[in-house]
Amino acid sequence: MDKVIKKLGWLDLFKVALRILFLQGALHQKGMQNVGFASAFSAGSIKIAGREADALVRKHLGFFNCNPNFTSLVVGGVLRLEEERLAGKPIDDNDIEYFKKAISSPLAAMGDMLFLGGVKPLALTFACVSAIYHSLIGLLAVLLLYNLIIVSCRIWGVYFGYNKGWELVEFFSGPGFQRLLSAVQISGACAGGALTAIVLNALFEGGMGAFLPVGSLSVQGGVPMLLSGGVLVVVAVILLRRDISSSWFAVFLLPISALLAFIFS
């Protein structure tokens, strides 16, 4: 069968993406994100289904839950499949429901690993360092960059999901994305270790007074902190490569951080 001509342009998909930003506005226990999903989906359903748009949206009011930053991928993919079904491709409602479940569960886990286990710890680390050394510009930069990443993922996901359709399953189960997850997790863990070293070094060096407004970071204090952070990065990578769980990782990292802070202080 010939390839289905896509009816949704970039502006139509952008309208869908804007609604994704408010996905959790109607979060509830019974259906979780189903209302937000249906609302975003409805922005593109009119153009692909015409008079059948209302019935199409109601079909997607069932239970739905995914990482909010990856939900846009599912919405885009479902729009593509519904468009192909209405164009005559051999796709039925069961296929589309299977796709939603098959892609949303892994994306929920991957999204939590990526954003809660990597992006957020990195952002919090830089924010804490900026706060310790009284850098308002640093705090604002972290806030801006973190939200830029989140918003970009939600908008990009709609376009990517719509263009990929069924291929989403293959893409996110491939080795490339798994390597990205691993890299971000290692970066988040290393950032947490470096932050621990910085805080403990500051405490050993100046007690609680280290956190009072004293100006910029001194060269004498900065070198030990960088050394401690560098050692902890190496330790973090070794532990993660040995598949050490996050709980044991924390148990190992804290005493090592304290020891390094004492040595380099």
For residue range 213-239, list pLDDT tens digits in order.
444 444 444 445 555 555 655 666 666
Domain boundaries, the chain: 1-166, 174-265
Cβ neighbours around 141 below 10 Å, total? 14
Cα separation values, 140 from 124, 135, 137, 232, 239, Å: 12, 9, 5, 27, 33
The list of the chain residues with pLDDT below 70 reads 1-5, 174, 177, 185, 188-189, 192-194, 196-265
pLDDT of 79: 93
pLDDT of 110: 84
- Cβ-contact 178, 106 below 8 angstroms: no
pLDDT of 208: 45
pLDDT of 232: 59
Cβ neighbours around 242 below 10 Å, total? 7
Taking the C-alpha atoms of residue 265 and residue 250, their distance in angstroms, rounded to an integer, is: 22
- Cβ-contact 232, 254 below 8 angstroms: no
For residue range 110-156, list pLDDT tens digits in order.
888 788 777 887 787 788 777 777 778 888 888 898 899 999 999 99
- The owner of tokens 């996050």 is 246
pLDDT of 150: 92
pLDDT of 183: 74
- Cβ-contact 33, 182 below 8 angstroms: no
